[in-house]
Amino acid sequence: MSERFDLVVVGSGIVGLGAAYAAVRRGLRVLVIDRSTEPVGATVRNFGHLCFTPQSGDALRYGIASRELWLRLARDAGFWLRESGTHVIARHSDEFALLEASAAHLARGFGEGPAIRLLDAAEMAAAVPIEQQQLTGGAVLPYDLQTDPRTAAAAIVRHLASLGVEFRMRTSVGRVGTGIVHTGRGTVHAGTIVVAVNHDIDQILPDLAEERGIVRCSLDMLRIDMPLPRPLAAPLLTGWSLIRYSAFATLPQATFVRERLHRQRPELAAIDLNQMYTQLPDGSVLVGDSHHRAATPSPFQDEATADLLLAEASRLFGAPARVLERWQGVYASAPTEFLVAEPEPGVVVLAATTGIGMTTGLGLAETTLSEHLGALNPTKGAS
């Protein structure tokens, strides 16, 4: 028997949940369909680092919108989130020069103060559990947030269900068209359909995936036990991160950092490293990460990559590490940072096509759907 909803979301990752949240706050009847029993993709296989400040362009715009939504959802859904900011260490003069240039260029919009605050080596050593002789300085990005992705996604699902969103899990979607979704459990009709399946867009809309050059990016990540002298007060980025995030990487000073790092550490460049660390509430540390792009990445993980990640963590913090978990993350990758398309009237396709889905996904969904569903009624937006 066919059913009708105001909005049907295909995919229960952070973008799909953001779309459902945008719609239910507007008083609409919403259904979320997913082939899994719970979110198990990129939404839970990440650092939980909500790094709004290092973005630019659309990513910054979506990040600013996301920040407010994360704060609201953490309060209402009751999951762990801290206004930690981000610590960025500089271990070479060219990295600190890049941070200095960034301080003059990083866009504001999160609050009254500066988006980046520079620290000298002594101040940086006081902020992070790293010996001062390794540092030339660093910075704090005060408006970034941190959550635990493993608990946040499930809490958001429960909260949306309490608001009236219906979830149909373990249900495959074969085809979508204007006003209709064909699933393994029957046909569903909707005024608006949001396809938010990230890297699996080629399973539902293969022509669109090929047209936009979407492939999969696989990455190696670890959760480790490491006896740090004191906890990480915030997510920690390094010079390898500075040459990835657009607000840093597009500045002329990034060229010097990139060339030196690739020249000095070609083995880390070969795995396309983003050397960053976050600490979960239980004290374990998330370590990452490598990147490899292909339409169908190999499922086999080279242990040499994990060895490199562990060695760099031990070198930085001066402590041995014990692996608690290891996994392969996968997310959509394309020449542009976002996929926003309407292949048929009323069918909206949304994805972050780089590794910033947790940072931007809620804002991407809210910003895009406001154009389709209309502005939010303040009386309905309190939930």
Average pLDDT (373-377) is: 74
pLDDT tier, 29 (very low <50, low <70, confident <90, very high otherwise): very high
* DSSP codes joined into one string, 21-72: HHHHTTT--EEEE-SSSS--STTTSS--EE--TT--HHHHHHHHHHHHHHHH
Residue 114: in which H helix or E strand, if any?
none
Choice between 1 and 67, residue whose per-residue pLDDT is larger:
67
Residue-wise pLDDT for 180-205, tens only, equals 999 999 999 999 999 999 999 999 99
Q: What structural domains does the chain harbor? A: 3-46+150-212+336-373 (3.50.50.60), 86-143+215-333 (3.30.9.10)
pLDDT at 89 over 70: yes
Asked, as a colleague might, if the bond just before 289 is cis with ω within 30 of 0, I would say yes
Q: Please report the pLDDT score of residue 106 as a whole number.
A: 73
Q: Does residue 16 have a pLDDT over 70?
A: yes
Tokens representing residue 254 in the block: 């990034």
If pLDDT is split at 50, 70 and 90, which confidence band does 383 have? Answer: low
Give the whole-number percent of the chain exceeding pLDDT 90: 91
pLDDT > 90? residue 209 = yes
Angle at 297 between CA 246 and CA 291, to 5 degrees: 30
Q: Is 216 helix (H, G, I), strand (E, B) or coil?
A: strand
Average pLDDT on 282-295 reads 95
Name the band, by pLDDT with cuts 50, 70 and 90, for residue 113: confident
Cα–Cα distance between 251 and 99 in angstroms, integer? 10
Q: Is the dihedral of CA 120, 125, 126, 128 positive or negative?
A: positive
Query: What is the rounded CA–CA span in Å between residue 210 and residue 215?
Result: 8
pLDDT in tens, 250-275: 999 999 999 999 999 999 999 999 99
Confidence band, pLDDT 50/70/90 cuts, at residue 374: confident
For residue 382, what pLDDT band results from cuts at 50, 70 and 90? very low
pLDDT at 248: 94
- pLDDT at position 111: 66
**Quick one: pLDDT at residue 114?**
84
Task: Decide if 343 contacts 205 (C-beta within 8 A).
Answer: yes
Determine the pLDDT at residue 372.
86
Share of the chain above pLDDT 70, in %: 96
Looking from the CA of 254 toward its CB, the CA atoms found within 13 Å total: 14
**Rounded mean pLDDT, 243-256:** 95
According to DSSP, residue 279 is labeled: E
CA–chain centroid gap for 2, Å, is 35
Specify the 3-state DSSP secondary structure of 336.
Answer: coil
> Is 193 in contact with 342 (CB distance < 8 Å)?
no
Helix axes 14-24, 149-163, angle to 10 degrees: 30
